[in-house]
């Protein structure tokens, strides 16, 4: 047989263009046909108030109703917004270096960053706030780093990252989700890219031996408890409301390494993990390890046989992406196929039936497959039985009713589409207020649009992205905010303000700087009082206090080549009287908030006079708050 190349799926080929055009046409026609009365199509209106007249403005001095947790994308950070004002309140550095706070510079932050502190970047995707009984409890926010295969944890009492762990045996943590009940004890991290296991140079050219894994972390210790090896590339993930399962979308069921191979199958799947069975296997020693890692790995492969003892693979139309469980009871989860105009609704109770041996086909878990539009990605929910799905190709949010979609799937002539609104443009993630918890309230929806085009003043070739806020409290969705954002928020979360209780002033016994406090005790230093230099050979430790507008030490002397550790304790007790410590021409700047201790270590390699100053404006005499480091040649 003569070898030939089929170029019909090449990105620039006529065949490829015909394919995309046909897919779009089929999606539009079939979606319209599925809804009886047709699909509701309208443009979004921008308004300052909902149809019911409720104002969405937050006046100066007033506080927002929600905290919004936004992934910072390529910045490697998490951003905090007030909702509905959309005012940016804080940027929390996680995987990045931050010159304002000294993250990546101070000893305290370097301890958190650990061995991967040498990376200068991160790619944060999915912020998740911890639960008790499926309600946000204000303890932690977890975030993944897709670029460097890490998971970070933020303490929400101080809004600072306190743990980072690198996940072995996988590349790129994309999906991240949490156990909801009885509380968040487990964190689940889905590996996306398939690689040889172990990835030590063998099997480079044999993709049939490439795999990825789901990882389970202990939320308290951030230690990895177990992993499960699976077929396909995992994408997004979510848990049920009973503490039994975690599930993930999987694309690339053919385990290909090119675009054409990855988008080939008509169906991929959602894989569901039975947590209890996995942990029973680990306890019984029914696992293996990979390479030098000692983490227990359970075998969850077997998609061609519908799964394994620990997993079930539910076929889902083309390249599924979003995986979202419906609140407040978690009865269903919705999976979206990027290259299909459909969402797939699965009932969690039928997943129970599968693992109990009551079903013959995993597709029997499916209870609806509504056709919603082109390029469905993610789904969120209100408290009235409605789902909201982002449509990347249509640049819309579509509102549809779950119960009516189930009735339509069972043969009833019913229109399940409730509303549509245009967003600007090419929407990715979306999230309704409290929509991942029992407290879902159906008030607001955030739409994270990837393109802005002509929406804002030009700032050069890199256009801003567009965050939009939509009022979903009425029958029709109403756009109430439209504003640019820096690249590239992936996902967002809205938590009611009273569900968090951040501290306004540090506690002196805070574990964030406990190691520095112990070092001071070993040197006989009382941080709240002493301003003193400790010399230990060529290692010098400088302890100083700060009270606006003075440092407790206005000069200290070291020798060229000394390893110098500077420890600063802010003795101010009034909230918002923060200080910074900047050492000129040394690349050193860090925050010291009221009652906080921060430290930095460096080599004094430049003889001469080197000024340090307070870098956070704190007092009318702020400019005079300074001192000298005198370095003898």
pLDDT tens track for 585-620:
999 999 999 999 999 999 999 999 999 999 999 999
The yes-or-no verdict on residue 21 having pLDDT over 60 is no
Partnered with residue 583 across adjacent β-strands are: 588, 612
Tokens of 566: 């500077």
Residue closest to 327 by CA, chosen among 368, 384, 404: 384
Q: Please say whether the beta carbons of 555 and 467 come within 8 A.
A: no
- Give the pLDDT band (50/70/90) at residue 551: very high
Average pLDDT over residues 46-69: 74
The yes-or-no verdict on residue 43 having pLDDT over 50 is no
Model pLDDT, residue 374: 96
3-state secondary structure of 350: helix
The yes-or-no verdict on residue 525 having pLDDT over 80 is yes
Location of structure tokens 């339509």: 408
What gap in Å lies between CA 412 and CA 15, rounded to an integer? 37
Model pLDDT, residue 267: 86
Average pLDDT over residues 316-333: 95
Tokens of 504: 């306004």
3-state secondary structure of 104: coil
Q: Please say whether the beta carbons of 248 and 236 come within 8 A.
A: yes
- Give the pLDDT band (50/70/90) at residue 256: confident
Per-residue pLDDT of 154-211, as tens digits, reads 999 999 999 999 999 999 999 999 999 999 999 999 999 999 999 999 999 999 999 9
Q: What is the DSSP letter of 209?
A: G
In terms of Cβ atoms closer than 10 Å to its own Cβ (0-12, 13-18, 19+), residue 55 is exposed
Residue closest to 601 by CA, chosen among 509, 522, 538: 538
Model pLDDT, residue 12: 34
Tell me the CATH number for domain 511-632: 2.60.40.420
Rg (CA), the chain: 27
Average pLDDT over residues 467-482: 96
More confident: 329 or 55:
329
Percent of the chain with pLDDT over 90: 85
What gap in Å lies between CA 514 and CA 516, rounded to an integer? 5
Average pLDDT over residues 20-37: 36
Model pLDDT, residue 266: 80
Output the furthest CA–CA distance in the chain (Å, rounded): 88
CA 336 to chain centre: 19
Model pLDDT, residue 259: 86
What gap in Å lies between CA 566 and CA 542, rounded to an integer? 5
Q: Please say whether the beta carbons of 448 and 465 come within 8 A.
A: yes
The answer to which of 32-41, 50-59, 129-138 has the lowest mean pLDDT is: 32-41
Per-residue pLDDT of 90-144, as tens digits, reads 999 999 999 999 999 999 999 999 987 678 899 999 999 999 999 999 999 999 9
The yes-or-no verdict on residue 26 having pLDDT over 80 is no
Which CATH class, in words, describes the domain spanning 42-499?
Answer: mainly beta
The yes-or-no verdict on residue 533 having pLDDT over 90 is yes
CA dihedral sign of residues 28, 32, 33, 34: positive
What gap in Å lies between CA 562 and CA 384, rounded to an integer? 66
The yes-or-no verdict on residue 50 having pLDDT over 70 is no
The answer to which of 24-33, 113-122, 557-566 has the lowest mean pLDDT is: 24-33
- Mean model confidence pLDDT for the chain: 91
The yes-or-no verdict on residue 462 having pLDDT over 80 is yes
Q: Please say whether the beta carbons of 239 and 325 come within 8 A.
A: yes
Whole-model pTM: value is 0.91
Partnered with residue 430 across adjacent β-strands are: 447
The yes-or-no verdict on residue 79 having pLDDT over 50 is yes
- Give the pLDDT band (50/70/90) at residue 49: very low
Q: What are phi and psi of 521, to 5 degrees?
A: -60, -40
What gap in Å lies between CA 189 and CA 60, rounded to an integer? 40
What gap in Å lies between CA 214 and CA 200, rounded to an integer? 20
Model pLDDT, residue 120: 87
The yes-or-no verdict on residue 56 having pLDDT over 90 is no
Domain ranges of the chain: 42-499, 511-632
What gap in Å lies between CA 389 and CA 336, rounded to an integer? 8
Q: Please say whether the beta carbons of 110 and 217 come within 8 A.
A: no
CA 558 to chain centre: 44
What gap in Å lies between CA 59 and CA 224, rounded to an integer? 45
- Give the pLDDT band (50/70/90) at residue 54: low
Cis preceding-peptide flag for 416 (omega within 30 of 0): no
Model pLDDT, residue 408: 98
Going by their DSSP bridges, the two strands 195-196 and 332-337 should be labelled as unpaired
CA dihedral sign of residues 291, 296, 299, 300: negative
CB atoms within 10 A of CB 582: 18
3-state secondary structure of 318: coil
Average pLDDT over residues 420-434: 97
The answer to which of 190-199, 247-256, 341-350, 528-537 has the lowest mean pLDDT is: 247-256
The yes-or-no verdict on residue 13 having pLDDT over 90 is no
The yes-or-no verdict on residue 316 having pLDDT over 50 is yes
């Amino acid at each position: 047989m003569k070898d030939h190349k089929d170029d019909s799926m090449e990105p620039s080929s006529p065949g490829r263009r015909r394919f995309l055009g046909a897919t779009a046409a089929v999606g539009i026609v079939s979606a319209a046909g599925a809804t009886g009365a047709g699909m509701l199509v309208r443009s979004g209106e921008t308004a300052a108030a909902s149809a019911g007249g409720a104002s969405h403005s937050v006046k100066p001095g007033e506080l927002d109703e929600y905290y919004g947790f936004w992934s910072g994308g390529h910045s490697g950070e998490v951003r905090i917004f007030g909702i509905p004002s959309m005012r940016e309140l804080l940027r929390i550095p996680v995987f990045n270096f931050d010159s304002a706070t000294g993250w990546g510079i101070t000893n305290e932050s370097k301890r958190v960053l650990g061995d991967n502190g040498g990376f200068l970047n991160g790619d944060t995707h999915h912020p998740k706030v911890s639960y008790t009984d499926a309600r946000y409890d204000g303890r932690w926010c977890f975030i993944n780093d897709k670029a460097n295969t890490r998971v970070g944890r933020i303490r929400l009492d101080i809004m600072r990252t306190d743990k980072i762990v690198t996940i072995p045996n996988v590349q790129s943590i994309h999906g991240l989700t949490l156990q909801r009940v009885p509380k968040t004890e487990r964190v689940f991290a889905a590996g996306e890219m398939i690689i040889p296991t172990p990835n030590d140079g063998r099997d480079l050219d044999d993709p049939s031996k490439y795999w990825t894994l789901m990882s389970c972390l202990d939320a308290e210790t951030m230690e990895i408890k177990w992993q499960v090896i699976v077929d396909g590339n995992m994408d997004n993930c979510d848990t049920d409301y009973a503490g039994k399962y975690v599930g993930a979308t999987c694309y690339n069921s053919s385990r290909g390494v090119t675009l054409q191979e990855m988008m080939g199958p008509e169906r991929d799947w959602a894989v569901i993990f039975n947590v209890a069975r996995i942990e029973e296997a680990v306890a019984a020693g029914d696992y293996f390890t990979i390479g030098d890692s000692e983490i227990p790995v359970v075998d969850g492969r077997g998609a061609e046989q519908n799964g394994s003892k620990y997993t079930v693979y539910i076929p889902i139309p083309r390249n599924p992406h979003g995986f979202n469980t419906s609140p407040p009871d978690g009865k269903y989860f919705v999976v979206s196929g990027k290259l299909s105009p459909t969402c797939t609704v699965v009932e969690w109770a039928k997943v129970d039936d599968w693992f109990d041996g009551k079903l013959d086909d995993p597709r029997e878990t499916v209870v609806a497959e509504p056709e919603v539009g082109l390029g469905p990605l993610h789904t969120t929910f209100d408290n009235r039985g409605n789902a909201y799905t982002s449509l990347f190709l249509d640049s819309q949010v579509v509102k549809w009713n779950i119960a009516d979609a189930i009735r339509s799937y069972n043969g009833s002539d019913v229109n399940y589409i409730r509303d549509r609104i245009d967003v600007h443009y090419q929407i990715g993630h979306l999230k309704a207020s409290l929509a991942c918890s029992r407290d879902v309230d159906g008030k607001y929806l955030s739409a994270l649009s990837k393109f802005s085009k002509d929406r804002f003043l030009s700032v050069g070739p890199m256009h801003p992205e567009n965050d939009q806020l939509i009022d979903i409290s009425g029958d029709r969705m109403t756009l109430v905010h439209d504003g640019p954002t820096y690249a590239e928020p992936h996902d967002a979360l809205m938590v009611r303000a009273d569900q968090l209780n951040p501290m306004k002033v540090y506690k002196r016994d805070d574990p964030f700087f406990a190691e520095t406090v112990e070092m001071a005790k070993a040197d006989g230093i009382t941080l709240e009082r002493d301003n003193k230099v400790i010399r230990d050979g060529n290692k010098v430790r400088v302890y100083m206090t700060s009270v606006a507008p003075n440092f407790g030490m206005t000069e200290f002397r070291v020798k060229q080549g000394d390893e110098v550790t500077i420890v600063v304790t802010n003795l101010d007790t009034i909230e918002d009287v923060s200080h910074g410590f900047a050492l000129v021409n040394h690349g050193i700047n860090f925050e010291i908030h009221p009652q906080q201790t921060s430290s930095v270590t460096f080599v004094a390699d430049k003889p001469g006079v080197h000024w340090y100053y307070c870098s956070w404006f704190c007092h009318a005499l702020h400019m005079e708050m300074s001192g000298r480091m005198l370095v003898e040649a």
